[in-house]
Amino acid sequence: MKLHFRKERRGCRRVVTARVMGRALATAVTAPLVLAATAVVPGAGPAVAGTSADTLYIAEEGNGRVVSVPAAGGTPTTMASGLNDHRPYGVALSGTTVYIAEAGSGVILSAPTSGGTATPLNIPGLVDAVGIAVSGTTLYIIESAGTVLSVPTSGGIPTTLASGLPNPQGIAVSGTTLYITGNAGGGSVTSLPTSGGIPTTLATGLPNPAGIAVSETTVYVTGRIDNVTGSTGTVVSLPTIGGPPITLATVNVPVGIAVSGTTLYITESSGNVVSLPTMGGAPTTIATGLSGPAGIAV
């Protein structure tokens, strides 16, 4: 989504980021940050599912902040702010730290889950970072130009794991494998070893895929659908080894996605956060009134 969802990608992204969680939603949203959507382990940025979540962390691109929301539903609380000029898009969660990818600046920041000042990490050379995931002491970052990078959570010189991916939007990590959405051409999901290598295509022909999350042997992906009456979107699942996607629900221009236990959490470009059973079903609104929500972590 540039927005990567950016404004132009907002067409894509609208956004985002990874990306947590999915940027390409930019067009549909007035947001990039998909980052992730964006992803985490566990987390959203997309993340590996574990026990049920208590708190969600969401990149709110329109207001330049990251907010927390009770997973059971409630009022968003500002966790980190002052990011207005740089479009926070992707978020990832590890322990008591949230990592934030600013699509506008190419900066990665960290902030305590209890709230406070977001601190930039020293990671030279980043450009338009749209999605982020975390596993252990390693961050995995996607740039809109198609590069996948790894770097220590403390910062440092990034290592290139792959390049030339088609407009990546969201990234998730599970074990020794990364899962990435691409919003160019046919709309794809690929996998990549965390040590780097040749990407493997898991699915193509997806409608503007953005956010991505993984739980055990299943990958979950959000996508935007444009038509003459406006835009909508879907949430689909597919096996981690690849295969035909299965539609779980139709939602309002989804951007980021995260998974915890048997529940999916999804940001909508309209400003809502909804939950959905991993097996599919009717979405439940758990927060409203956000401005350009993008990546989500749990």
Percent of the chain scored above 70 by pLDDT? Answer: 81
Long-range contacts of 150-155 (CB under 8 A, 24+ apart): 150/194, 150/196, 151/108, 151/121, 151/123, 153/94, 153/97, 153/99, 153/110, 153/121, 154/121, 155/108, 155/121, 155/122, 155/123
70-90 pLDDT, tens digit per residue, is 999 999 999 998 886 668 999
| Tokens (6 digits) for 242 | 């690849």
Q: Is 162:196 a contact under the CB 8 Å cutoff?
A: yes
Least confident span in 113-117, 137-141, 277-281: 113-117
Closest CA to 194 of 226, 223, 171, 220: 171
Q: Is 167:175 a contact under the CB 8 Å cutoff?
A: no
Q: Is 219:46 a contact under the CB 8 Å cutoff?
A: no
3-state class of 1 per DSSP?
coil
- Following CA atoms 224, 127, 115, 113 in sequence, which dihedral angle do they give, to the nearest 10 degrees? 70
126-143 pLDDT, tens digit per residue, is 988 999 999 999 999 999
Least confident span in 22-31, 193-202, 209-218: 22-31
